[in-house]
Amino acid sequence: MSGKVSPLRRLLRYADADRPQVYWASFCSVVNKLFDIAPEILIGVAIDVVVRQEESFLASLGIVDPVHQIMLLGVLTFLIWAGESLFEYFHLVAWRNLAQRLQHRLRIDAYDHLQKQDHSYLEQHNTGHFVAILNDDVNQLERFLDGGANAMLQVLTAVIGVGTVFFIINPTIAMLAFLPIPVIIYGAFWFQKRAEPRYNKVREKVSLLSSRLSNNLSGVTTIKSFTAEAREKSRLEQESTDYVTANREAIAVSSAFIPVIRMAILTGFLLTFCVGGYMSLQGDLEVGAYGLLVFLTQRLLWPLTQLASTIDLYERAMASTRRILDVLSVKSQLSNGGHKLPAKSVKGAISIDSVSFAYQSSRPVINQLSLDIQPGTTVAFVGATGAGKSTITKLLLRFYDPSSGAVKLDGVSLTDWDTQSLRDTIGLVSQDVFLFHGTVRENIAFGEPNASLEAVEKAAKLAEAHEFINELPNGYDSIVGERGQKLSGGQRQRLSIARALLKDPRVLILDEATSAVDNETEAAIQRSLTQIREGRTLIMIAHRLSTIVDADQIVVLDKGRIVQQGTHSELVAENGIYRQLWDVQTGGVA
Ligand SMILES: Nc1ncnc2c1ncn2[C@@H]1O[C@H](COP(=O)(O)OP(=O)(O)OP(=O)(O)O)[C@@H](O)[C@H]1O
């Protein structure tokens, strides 16, 4: 998926639109560093003025009076410091703004890409894994751009800038001062090679930890009811310890780098210090030049110690970048057909032609199933749990494609439909109701955010929800809590029916939509069904057969096959599964 392209190159490709900002930020970093090393040069020139006076380097430029020379140096120092401060501000602002822009874009792009991904891909990972990528990994990259990129550029500028001055003044000493640099660079690469897998491991452990955290926090009711707090704490402890261990392994490598580099730097510094001093004593090197070289060696070599922490930051950021860009490069297996149609123009004829489907190739869930559903009719699927009823609805919404055969809407294969307009056509009330944190009104209007209050109330009335909503402390403005936890199961179901009805879909799927409501409310919803069915194809899945007796067609499924098909009265007349289920539920009263 990611191929062999380095994460940095992939990131640069991604950030193509931000190129001007990158150039500007880099320019400011370089200029700031040049201003930063300039005062050392001025110190050397100042020593030269004091020692050689009318013979000094500045005198050779035409400023003969030593007092004037010192005054000029003073003015230059002031300008350089002011320039350094100004570009310090510029590069800080430029890199930080770039970091903000990029992290924002990456997070939004990755989220948007994820929410469009196939169910089969999303099911392979835990939610926590994706949360870790969208939060942690994106933040890691932000941290590097905030400071690391600037630090890298400035080290490079220092090496080139100081190197140039050195070679102009005294190539012999320049060679000595540069002696440790290959060691440092080799050390940096050695370190990088060892740090990379360790940081990848750290990122993986973060994912696992975050998965466990989000899973446990959302399952806290179950944990409490099974008094499993201690066990879950120790499982979390284990994940957290794994994370700490992975970090320790990375720290062991990164911490060893600095002392090694310092020793290499010391060698370069001592050589410049001693050899330069000796040459100066011999009269082969001016005192000012000697002072300048000693000061500049510091400027050249000491920032290299920072290289370790910068590479550390870089490695962490690249491990994260790889994970973010891997998410962005995942391609959907379900191609989007071009057939677009306004939802209201769809008739709602569904045909399932010899469809087979398996979530895992070894275990087929739907077997050679064929069925025609006329527009505007009501079809009910019944059958034992696991028979494949919900799977058919998922195929209809094109969450998955069949392994063979075709599902068609209005005679057009779903693979030829534009996925969005297909889903606009279908309303789903699924078994697992998911409400979003927000008000009752916002939840009902989830599919139609601009719906008027009248329209929201009308849908709520049809779903038998209006009454209980009015009894809530703030009516339609009451907050439902995370996942709707402030409501009862039956109330949540009714909100989710209202939400689907407000969308006014041509095809409505009610998958165990009233399983949690009381008998009285269910009977009321049944009465609303006459109105709900009007002008649309209705697909119902129900275990309670009393809710589907009026269906135009009842389809009995067993292990992904149709075993019986007909109206209620036809099926109770047959001696089959339906009759048995009916007898069990009614005590034999037809
Ligand atoms: N995402 C999935 N990945 C793998 N297997 C799945 C997945 N979803 C469902 N299954 C399996 O597919 C089979 C059919 O599931 P499906 O949800 O369609 O059954 P159902 O008839 O709707 O059952 P119920 O009445 O209990 O809701 C089951 O054996 C189930 O374990």
Model confidence pLDDT, tens digit, residues 549-582: 889 999 999 999 999 999 999 999 998 889 998 9
Say what the pLDDT of residue 377 is: 94
Inform me whether the pLDDT recorded for 218 exceeds 90: no
Contact status, residue 459 vs residue 444, Cβ threshold 8 Å: yes
Residues 159 and 59 in one domain: yes
In the chain, the number of structural domains is 2
Going by alpha carbons, the residue nearest to atom 10 of ligand 1 is 359
Cα 31 to ligand 1 centre (Å): 63
In tens, the pLDDT along 419-468 reads 888 998 999 998 888 888 889 999 999 988 899 999 999 999 988 889 88
Mark 269-283 as b/e (b = at least 16 C-beta within 10 Å): bebbbebbeebbeee
Residue ending a domain, choose from 268, 297, 329: 329
- The span from the CA of 254 to the CA of 245, in Å, is 14
If you average pLDDT over every residue of the chain, what do you get?
Answer: 87
Residues 194 and 123 in one domain: yes
Residue 215's domain is classified under what CATH number?
1.20.1560.10
Cα 391 to ligand 1 centre (Å): 6
Say what the pLDDT of residue 310 is: 82
In tens, the pLDDT along 485-525 reads 788 888 888 899 999 999 889 999 999 877 777 777 777 77
- The span from the CA of 506 to the CA of 470, in Å, is 29
The strand pair at 364-373 and 561-566 is best described as unpaired
Cα 506 to ligand 1 centre (Å): 25
Q: Does residue 107 lie within any of the structural domains?
A: yes
Contact status, residue 536 vs residue 508, Cβ threshold 8 Å: yes
User: Best substitution site from 125, 355, 390 to test ligand 1's pocket, by max atoms within 8 Å of Cβ?
Assistant: 390
Say what the pLDDT of residue 1 is: 45
Cα 577 to ligand 1 centre (Å): 20
The closest-lying atom of ligand 1 relative to the alpha carbon of residue 394 is 18
CA distances 435 to 7, 123, 153, 217, 450, Å, are: 38, 20, 49, 17, 18
Contact status, residue 476 vs residue 499, Cβ threshold 8 Å: no
Q: Is 560 left (phi over 0), alpha (psi -120 to 50) or beta?
A: left
SS3 217: helix
What does the DSSP 8-state code read for residue 429?
A: E
Residue ending a domain, choose from 267, 301, 329: 329
Residues 321 and 356 in one domain: no
Q: Comparing 9-13, 205-209, 307-311, 500-504, which segment has the lowest mean pLDDT?
A: 307-311
Residues 161 and 44 in one domain: yes
Residues 168 and 272 in one domain: yes
Q: Does residue 337 lie within any of the structural domains?
A: no
CA 300 to chain centre: 40
pLDDT-based confidence at residue 361 (cuts at 50, 70, 90): confident
Going by alpha carbons, the residue nearest to atom 25 of ligand 1 is 385
Inform me whether the pLDDT recorded for 77 exceeds 50: yes
pLDDT-based confidence at residue 589 (cuts at 50, 70, 90): low
For residue 246, give its domain range. Answer: 7-329
Contact status, residue 119 vs residue 395, Cβ threshold 8 Å: no
Axis-axis angle for helices 519-533, 489-502 (nearest 10): 10
pLDDT-based confidence at residue 85 (cuts at 50, 70, 90): very high
Determine the straight-line distance between the first and last CA of the chain, rounded to whole angstroms: 59
Residues 170 and 125 in one domain: yes
Say what the pLDDT of residue 53 is: 81
Say what the pLDDT of residue 94 is: 95
Residues 106 and 78 in one domain: yes
Residues 322 and 350 in one domain: no
